[in-house]
């Protein structure tokens, strides 16, 4: 079964439907690349996927090791480069709720984040600047 089906809607906009769930994501070209910037751009989704994946893997580790990260947030900043136009850096800024995490738990969190499949799939030339705030 396919993962998703993408339709070009015109006006530099696409809609992607997740085949299993039916959930939909709309993308729009960014304003600095002839778009309207009214939705995530494809490169926004790429950068955002890193944070989503890292939080998910940390959540799995939290379940396995008996600590809680509910309410944790992750702010993503995507940095673009030219010639060729590409993502050159993804800044990931985690904020964890005040749970008095031990040094051991912090180590588990940080190691888990860096093992996520998206992090391993991003080209090594793309800088991943990750900060953990507890």
Q: Are residues 77 and 54 in the same domain?
A: yes
Domain total in the chain: 2
Q: Are residues 46 and 77 in the same domain?
A: yes
* Domain span at 16: 4-33
Q: Are residues 21 and 81 in the same domain?
A: no
State which residues of the chain have pLDDT below 50.
none
Asked if 91 contacts 76 with a C-beta cutoff of 8 angstroms, the reply is yes
Q: Are residues 122 and 74 in the same domain?
A: yes
Q: How many CB atoms lie within 10 A of CB 98?
A: 7
Question: What was the pLDDT predicted at 85?
Answer: 95
Question: What was the pLDDT predicted at 46?
Answer: 97
Question: What was the pLDDT predicted at 130?
Answer: 98
CATH of residue 87's domain is 3.30.300.20
Q: Are residues 25 and 82 in the same domain?
A: no
Question: What was the pLDDT predicted at 86?
Answer: 96
């Amino acid at each position: 079964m396919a993962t998703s089906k993408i339709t070009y809607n015109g006006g530099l906009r696409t809609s992607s439907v997740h085949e299993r769930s039916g959930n939909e994501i709309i993308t729009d070209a960014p304003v600095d690349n002839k778009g309207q910037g009214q939705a995530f751009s494809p490169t926004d989704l790429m950068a955002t996927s890193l944070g989503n994946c890292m939080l998910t893997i940390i959540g799995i580790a939290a379940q396995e090791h008996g600590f809680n990260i509910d309410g944790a947030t992750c702010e993503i900043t995507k940095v673009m480069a030219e010639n060729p136009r590409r993502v050159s850096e993804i800044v990931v800024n985690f904020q964890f709720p005040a749970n008095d995490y031990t040094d051991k738990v912090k180590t588990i969190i940080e190691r888990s984040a860096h093992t996520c499949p998206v992090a391993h799939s991003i080209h090594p030339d793309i800088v991943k600047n990750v900060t953990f705030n507890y």
